[in-house]
Chain A
Amino acid sequence: MTADYALEGVRHEYRAGAPALAAIDLTILSGQHVAIVGANGSGKSTLLKMLDGLVFPTSGAISAFGAPLTADALEDPAYRRDFRSRVGFVFQEADVQLFCSDAYDELAFGPLQLGLARKEVERRVREAAQQLRIEQVLDRPPYTLSGGEKKRVAIASVLTMQPHVLLLDEPTNALDPRSQVWLLDVLEVWKQEGRTVVMATHDLSAAAESADRIVVLSEDHTIVADGTPEEVLAQRELLLAVNLIHEHTHRHASTAHKHAHAHGPGSDPDLAHGH
């Protein structure tokens, strides 16, 4: 299996001396579903932005699809076009991502930027809209959509580019339980289609349910665990240390006891919460 991404000794600093990522070694294979988990501020979003060629390592190196991914490389129109068409990024806040005047233009934006023919753009918009069931809202401006609809439009606007790699930042945030289930189904379809998915989340249950690999970022911005969901979720002490679960005291009839407890919208209490 070929590697989509390879990161070696990557460090990133927004301000000197305050790293957002430190000593990151990470290889992501084609078709893998990887969940990056970590507490707020651990560097998940920065890592995703780096995989999308929006921020670059302060030191260390990153390559994508076998070629170095640098700011200079992206200046080349042919490389940029190729890279952008292969990688899609669904941002955490749909309000940031939906910048066109209506949902139709939103879906058409990516393919038009790739310079595709009008007919092809229209076909892709129709297809993505059907797949995400947003045909009814295509002519509406984004600000009249509900939170769930916005998320669907945001995802559809990335799917029209038919990317091989999908980067999702906190995809289950701001989704009601039903939409979360729907999202997990979409992820399953992508798995069947052989797409690579990298998703940043602090929702351990969503990670465990859809990913076949979990990478844990600590609060000092390094990777502290990397393995299958079973392997990672078994490491209670570690998850406690990186603030993904916390001690939780509650009472059963007359006895009080403590155990680790995971939070997250729609989290399944049995996953990290055995009695």
Chain B
Amino acid sequence: MHIPDGYLGPQTYAVLDVVMIPIWVIAARKVKRTLKAKQIPLMALGAAFSFVIMMFNVPVIGGSTGHAVGATLIAIILGPWAAVIAISIALVIQAGLFGDGGITAIGANCFNMAVVVPFVGYYLFRLVAGDSPSSSRRVVASGVAAYVALVAAAIVAGVEFGIQPYLAHTASGQALYAPYKLGVAVPAMALEYLLFFGWVEAIVTMGVVAALARSEPALLEMKPAARPLRWLWAGIGVLILLTPIGALAPGTAWGEWGSKELKAASGYAPANLERLGGLWRSAMPGYATPGISNALLGYLIAAVVGTALTVGVAFAVGALLARRGEAQPPEAPSATRHGGGGGRSLARKTADSIAHAITEVLQNEELAARPGLLQRLDPRIKLLTLVLFAVTASLVHSVWVLVALIGVTSVLAAASRVGVGSFERKVWASAGLLAFLLAAPSAMQIFTPGPVVVPLGPFSLTEPGLMGAATLTTRVVAAAGFALLVVWTMRWSDLLKALSAMRLPDVVVATLAMTQKQILTLLRTVEQIHLARESRTLTRGSARANRAWVTERMAFVVRKSMKTADDVYDAMLSRGFTGAMPSLVKPRLRPRDWAWSVASIALCAAMLYVDRVVGPR
């Protein structure tokens, strides 16, 4: 659910970035009041825990594995407001350290995963668990809450994607950002999470809650009972989340709306739905059930196609990356691997992915220490100008200007000595390929009507469709390039100093610093646990046994996180911690920083000007 840059237009990401600010401020105040000075280590460990949870591979069905977000779990343990901060921090670190999720889209990602999930999850958990001390009821409640909360977040993300075609398109109907409208994007996201990721989340949450109920019930202790008024708010919140669905179906029962209602509700021309419906009828004439409009059938097909596509793409990319990983195994002695179909065991898989993450962080430190163009700049200037480039890439309409911006990323990568080959591979193979595969079907006439360029019967490609797909792909590649430059040329400690110099509160910077360090410590521990298991494993256990083992280990990570939070807090107190985190370093701007700033601003302005002249409106 990590939305990369390029999929959301400026109207959407800017609004969500701005919306997150008061939410963070309120959350910080609430947390400060309840946790006092201890907030820093507790938040940091909460965030580190949330990050590490995402690294665990959980067996689901038929040998497939997925990973959980763990946001409901964190909300249950820390309370929803603390969860907002902890998960936001985890997301910022994922974006800043691993390039997972976009820079401009940080507000959207935080809103979906760090606000929607913890609040829906926490209050639903309270509702279902009631005041009952029964641990089995709590386990079930946590599963229900985790499932619903994640699906709710997926729907919200679907809405964010789905409103893009309405907010921005050219006169010819060419999409500029995410190309699928609400009718496709929302069901596609919802189904994916209803059918797959929601279950992973529920399994993980239930497993950890059950393990904690046995070993550390104090962690699950309910905060003092909330006032009943809060339920009202929770209800209103759920209703708000459901409005996009409601908006599609005014006056009609759920799932029974036809093209007329759709048009009335959203202004979304159902011509393509009618066409799809017709397609369905012509393909399977005998199955057209009387009483259900053809547009609805078309709509459902579109939804299923969309879901199949996204799930398929996700799996294909996963398999592709996994195979690449297998092709160059990280010098693991083959004796520790066992046969059984040639696949890697669960423990080995998780240990490998964790080892990979650790290597990546250390490797980034090395890249960031090279004497290149960007590395020589003041971290604040570097961060601000790269964000400026990312924003420029989001404002541009013309594919050609976007291609020019991709050129800028390549030049900067070369000038910063980060290895242009690996830079391009990373940008194109992960971000670019995914965007292309996702956007390709939108070039078809059924999704984007317009003059046909490549006639393929019902799957004909239209000109605005192709241009839309090209725009999305180039935009995503350009934005991913700038994001990767931040990740690769900025040492984490410099980034923290930049944030601190930009007047971000000490507490936030200190928490970020501690989180990153604790993530690495926790990751190392978890890697060792997995390797230890791997070394003692002779046969592959059942999926159920593996699930039980994985969730037990996650519960261990929770306990270890909380214990470490206590210890770190003691260590801070011991050195006279008063609640403030002053820093000695006051970076100064040098002439080259100013020159670079002026050049960047001029370049971005020029790109935007050219785009206004040549770009499609």
A-B contacts at CB below 8 angstroms, number: 89
Contacts of B126 in A (CB 8 A): none
User: Within the complex, which residue of B362, B573, B582 is in contact with A112, where a contact is CB–CB below 8 Å?
Assistant: B582
* Residues on the A chain within 8 Å of B517, using CB: 95, 98-99, 141-143
Q: How far is the CA of A141 from the CA of B573 in the complex (A)?
A: 21
Q: Tell whether B576 is near chain A: CB-to-CB under 8 Å.
A: yes
Residue B513 lies at the interface, judged by CB distance under 8 Å to chain A = yes
| Inter-chain contact B492/A93, CB cutoff 8 Å | no
Question: Would you call A54 and B573 a contact (CB within 8 A)?
Answer: yes
CA gap between A158 and B575 in the complex, in Å? 7
- Shortest CB-to-CB span from B47 to chain A, Å, is 14
Residues of B within 8 A of A84 (CB): 574-576
Interface check B584, CB cutoff 8 A? yes
Which residue of A is nearest B519, CB measured?
Answer: A143
| B584 pairs with A118, CB closer than 8 A | yes
Are A110 and B583 in contact, with the CB atoms below 8 A? no
Chain B nearest Cβ from A52, distance in angstroms: 5
A54 in contact with B574 (CB, 8 Å): yes
Closest residue on chain B to residue A122 by CB atoms? B584
Is the CB–CB distance between A110 and B492 below 8 Å? Answer: no
Contact present for A141 and B574 (CB under 8 Å): no
Among B113-121, B170-178, B563-571, B599-607, the one that faces the other chain is B563-571
13 A-B contacts, Cβ less than 8 Å apart?
A84-B576, A87-B574, A95-B517, A96-B564, A96-B571, A97-B571, A99-B514, A99-B571, A104-B585, A108-B583, A110-B575, A112-B582, A142-B517
Q: Does B382 contact A (CB under 8 A)?
A: no
A109 with B575: CB separation less than 8 A: yes
Query: A142–B583 Cα gap in the complex (Å)?
Result: 16
CB pair B584–A81 under 8 Å, yes or no, is no
A91 touching B576 in the complex, CB below 8 Å, given contacts A99-B517, A121-B584: no
Q: How far is the CA of A55 from the CA of B293 in the complex (A)?
A: 71
Q: How far is the CB of A123 from chain B (nearest CB, A)?
A: 12
A195 at the interface (CB under 8 A from B): no
Chain A residues bordering chain B, tally (CB within 8 A): 41
Whether A268 sits at the interface, judged by CB under 8 Å, is no
A99 touches B573 (CB 8 A): no
Instruction: Mark interface residues in B532-575 (1 if CB within 8 Å of A CB, else 0).
Output: 00000000000000000000000000000000100110111111
Known contacts A89-B575, A101-B509, A113-B578; 12 additional CB pairs below 8 A are: A52-B574, A54-B573, A91-B571, A99-B41, A99-B514, A100-B510, A101-B492, A101-B516, A105-B584, A110-B575, A112-B583, A141-B491
Which of these, B516, B570, B576, B580, contacts A110 with CB under 8 Å? B576
Q: How far is the CA of A52 from the CA of B582 in the complex (A)?
A: 23
Q: Across the two chains, which residue of chain A brings its CB closest to B521?
A: A95
User: Which residue of A has the minimal Cβ distance to B44?
Assistant: A99
Q: Are A104 and B578 within 8 A (Cβ)?
A: no
How far is it, in angstroms, between the C-alpha of A161 and the C-alpha of B573 when the chains are bound? Answer: 13
Is B568's CB under 8 angstroms from A96's CB? yes
**B514–A105 contact, CB under 8 A?**
no
Check B568–A108 contact: CB distance below 8 A: no
Given A49-B570, A96-B567, A143-B520, check contact A101 B513 (CB 8 Å).
yes
State how many angstroms separate the Cβ of B582 from the closest Cβ of chain A: 5
Question: Is A89 within 8 A of B574, CB to CB?
Answer: yes
Q: How far is the CB of A47 from chain B (nearest CB, A)?
A: 14
A32-51 CB mask vs B (1 if < 8 Å, else 0) is 00000000000000000100
Could you tell me the distance between the alpha carbons of A88 and B510 in the complex, rounded to whole angstroms? 21
Question: How far is A85 from B572 in the complex, measured between Cα atoms in Å?
Answer: 13
How many Å lie between the Cα of A139 and that of B497 in the bound state?
A: 12
Q: Are B574 and A113 in contact (CB under 8 A)?
A: no
Instruction: Write out the residue numbers on chain B whose beta carbons fall within 8 Å of the beta carbon of A144.
Output: 362, 365
Chain A residues lying within 8 Å of B510, measured Cβ to Cβ, are 99-100
A102 at the interface (CB under 8 A from B): yes
A69 to chain B, nearest CB (A): 13
- Closest Cβ of chain B: how far from A202's Cβ, in Å? 19
User: A196 at interface (Cβ–Cβ under 8 A)?
Assistant: no
Instruction: Determine if A54 and B575 form an interchain contact, defined as CB atoms under 8 angstroms apart.
Output: no
The CA of A229 and the CA of B218, in the complex, are separated in Å by 43
**Bound state CA distance, A96 and B582, in angstroms?**
20
Set of chain A residues within 8 Å of B509, measured between Cβ atoms: 101
Q: Confirm or deny: A114 has a beta carbon within 8 angstroms of a beta carbon on chain B.
A: yes
Which B residues are CB-close (under 8 A) to A89? 571, 574-575
A residues less than 8 Å from B576 (CB atoms): 80-81, 84-85, 110, 113-114, 161
* A142–B361 CA distance with the chains assembled, in angstroms: 13
Contacts of A102 in B (CB 8 A): 493
| Cβ-defined contact, A99 with B365, below 8 A | no
- Lowest 3 CB-CB distances: which A-B pairs, in order? A84-B576, A113-B576, A101-B513
Contacts A112-B584, A113-B577, A113-B578 known; A100 to B567 CB distance under 8 Å? Answer: no
| A110 to B573 CA separation, bound complex (whole angstroms) | 10
The interface residues of chain B lying within 8 Å CB-to-CB of A80 are 576
| B584 CB contacts on chain A under 8 angstroms | 104-105, 108, 112, 118, 121-122, 125
A52, A105, A118: residue with the most chain B Cβ atoms closer than 10 Å: A105
The answer to whether B496 has its CB under 8 Å from any CB of chain A is yes
A185 to chain B, nearest CB (A): 24
Q: Using Cβ atoms and an 8 Å threshold, which residues of chain A touch B575?
A: 84, 88-89, 109-110, 113, 157-158, 161
| CA–CA, A43 and B516, complex, Å | 31
Nearest B residue (CB) for A110: B575
Q: Which residues of B contact A91 (CB under 8 A)?
A: 567, 570-571, 574
From B571, B580, B584, name the one whose CB has the most chain A CB atoms within 10 angstroms: B571
Chain B residues, Cβ within 8 Å of A97: 568, 571
Q: Report A11 CB to chain B, min CB distance, Å.
A: 20
Bound-state Cα–Cα, A98 to B44, Å = 13
Minimal Cβ-Cβ distance residue in A for B570: A54
CB-CB nearest in chain A for B578 = A113
Q: 0/1 per residue, A223-238, Cβ < 8 Å to B?
A: 0000000000000000
Q: Nearest Cβ in chain A — how far from B609, in angstroms?
A: 40
Smallest CB separation, A117 vs chain B (Å):
11
* Minimal beta-carbon separation of B52 from chain A (angstroms): 15
Q: Inside 8 A of A109's CB, which chain B residues have their CB?
A: 575
Contact of A141 among B493, B583, B585 (CB under 8 A): B493
Contact with B along A68-97 (1 / 0, CB 8 A): 000000000100110011011101010111
| Cross-chain contact B572 with A99 (CB below 8 angstroms) | yes
**Per-residue 0/1 for A146-169: is the Cβ within 8 Å of any B Cβ (1 yes, 0 no)?**
000000000001100100000000
